[in-house]
Amino acid sequence: MILALALFLFPVFDKNAYHADLAANVAIYALLAMGLNVAVGFTGLLNLGYAAFFAIGAYTYALLNQHAGCPFWLGLPAAGIVSMVFGFLVGMPSIRVRGDYLAITTLGFGEIVRITFNNLDSITGGPNGILGIDRPPGFSVNATPYYYLLLVIVAVTAALLLRMEDSKIGRALVAIREDELAASCMGVPVLRIKLYAFGLSAFIAGVAGCVFASKQTIVTPDSFDFVLSVLILAMVVLGGMGNLWGAALGAVVLGLLPELLREFASYRMLIFGLIMILMMIFRPQGILGGSLIRRELQTPRKESSDAPA
């Protein structure tokens, strides 16, 4: 409650417009990290093209707004639904492969989406993107309203994901992550549950993309490159895979760290990389990761000969 109150009162005590804009961007990162955590953290599906769903949500609202006059509040669920549909379409062939093969498949999808948006000049504006996207009524250049809007969206998303984590589907997701074969033998519909995870993860990214497009009033393909997908994945890993609050904390840390290191402009990325390496060495399960993930990462499995007959 204290943390929620502090977040709510942050713009009241800090009138700096740049800080409000930075806080809104960090909230978008937190939303994306929680969405990716559904696939990577809960289910163990390595997705290296998550920025593609973020882009689909942003372009969906931009196109609906520009060509159909769709308002923001209708574009918000529409962007999530369209991204979810693409999540299902990509997930159906992708979830049948595992590990590195799944990562390569999602990586290819992410690049296909970005290049497609870059080349469809007549529809997406090509490299120049789409300009003049409408904001919600009453919103302006000041990022404070977006900060409160994102705070509500993040809170609702966190509440729903926490409920899902303790549900039948949430337990099935964790079972698939721990041992897919054992989960299948116990009657868990593995492919269907994986598809649910892909779709839900994509829906959250689409919602974040809609808010991003409205806030920036412009979307370009360069905003959704592979580096963004890796950054979001790093947030999940840093905070702790499978931990909802860890994903949000990782987004806050990696969202603010480059700004805190701005004075060391020449060495900023070097320090950033060094911090990540040290984190993975001394706490590989992440900041809020559980002891189970640490044992999986550090303790080799015993040979079968060590077990009693």
Is residue 261 within 8 A of residue 268, CB to CB? The reply is yes
Compute the Cα dihedral for 125, 131, 132, 136 and give only its sign.
positive
Q: Which uninterrupted H or E stretch holds 130? A: strand 130-131
Q: Is residue 298 scored above 70 in pLDDT? A: no
The pLDDT mean for the chain works out to 87
Is residue 231 within 8 A of residue 36, CB to CB? The reply is no
Q: Domain map of the chain by residue range?
A: 17-225
Cα–Cα separations (whole angstroms), residue 116 to 52, 55, 93, 158: 11, 11, 20, 32
Q: Per-residue pLDDT tens for 153-186? A: 999 999 999 999 888 998 999 898 888 889 889 8
Is residue 60 within 8 A of residue 209, CB to CB? The reply is yes
Q: What is the mean pLDDT of residues 211-237?
A: 92
Residues 171 and 191: their CA atoms lie apart, in Å, by: 15
Compute the Cα dihedral for 279, 283, 288, 292 and give only its sign.
positive
∠ CA 194-86-154, nearest 5°, is 75
Cα–Cα separations (whole angstroms), residue 210 to 235, 269, 291: 21, 29, 36
Q: Is residue 8 scored above 60 in pLDDT? A: yes
184: Cβ contacts below 8 Å, ≥ 6 apart: 190
Q: What is the mean pLDDT of residues 267-284?
A: 81
Q: What is the mean pLDDT of residues 22-34?
A: 94
CB environment 182-214: b (16+ within 10 A), e (fewer): ebeeeebebeebbbbbbbbbbbbbbbbbbbbbb
